[in-house]
Amino acid sequence: MPLHLTPRREFLRRAALAGAGLLASRELFAAEAGASSRWALLSDTHIGPKPESVARETNMADHLRAVVKEVTALKTAPAAVFINGDCALKAGFVDEYATFTSLVKPLTEAGLTLHMTLGNHDDRANFWKALNVASDAARPVQSKHISVIKSAHANWFLLDSLDIVDKAPGKLEQAQRDWLAKALDEHKDKPALVMVHHNVHLDPTKPNSALLDTNELFEVLLPRKQVKALFYGHSHKWELKTQDGLHLVNLPAVAYAFAKDQPTGWVDCQLKSGSATLELRAHNEQHPAHGKKTDLKWRV
């Protein structure tokens, strides 16, 4: 299961995460989201060991603070906030997660639920410890963070592509793909939206530093027409593509871009019957893609 942080009111009713004011659910493999059709999509925060940590001439904590401030100020609150992996800067060190949890605390204090997946710069054991998640908790796939988040317009399927800490490529492996296929078949009643940290590898002529089992994942997703979109990060790129009618959404990084023309920020996702509207919210409001909305029509 991914890590799920619930709002402060639920935190007060249940259990404390010392010093952070957050609650991590230990056995939440399926969850019901709020009634809102809005979702805040974040990826690649890359928070360093200190708030003043800088990488690629960027203060990552400042970027995350700006996104948190914008999300908490929305007039219509999102059903949940996703952070799609690479929460930490380098290798999921304890001090990186200490800084990270302090920065996302305002989200849960504002009554928002936060769902996180893991990327190649994360470390499961340190993350579990930082967020008070039992390392021996029962899981659908051993040592993998996977879950289903149900909502009125669609079901979200959150995957775990972390393979080797601080090594670029990611992998789902057979057991997780089998779980995904079974979970998708058990939830045919609504559109399915799949989220994974690593971007898909579409060009076989280039080295694969993305998702090593991309083809195997497509073998699960493409025949199941209820699957409408695949969301991923890792490449620090804002890009929209399709594969046989399946929308491929490459989320921008919150932290920093690899290419100078790429934006950083987050994506405001509005789900509707039969489609979704994505709006890029860039840190640089002068970026040509900032504020632009794209409608994704679901394949039939």
Q: What is the mean pLDDT of each run of 10 residues along the chain (300 residues)?
A: 47 35 42 79 98 97 98 97 97 96 95 95 89 69 88 96 97 97 96 98 91 98 98 98 98 97 98 97 98 97
- Provide the pLDDT for residue 8: 45
pTM of the predicted structure, to 2 decimals: 0.91
- Provide the pLDDT for residue 137: 66
- Provide the pLDDT for residue 32: 64
- Which overall architecture, per CATH, does domain 3-297 show? 4-Layer Sandwich (3.60)
Backbone angles phi, psi at 117, to 5 degrees: -110, 175
Question: For the chain, how big is the Rg over CA atoms in Å?
Answer: 17
- Provide the pLDDT for residue 160: 96
- HSE-up of residue 32 (Cα within 13 Å, Cβ side): 2
- Provide the pLDDT for residue 289: 98
- Provide the pLDDT for residue 23: 39
- Provide the pLDDT for residue 31: 61
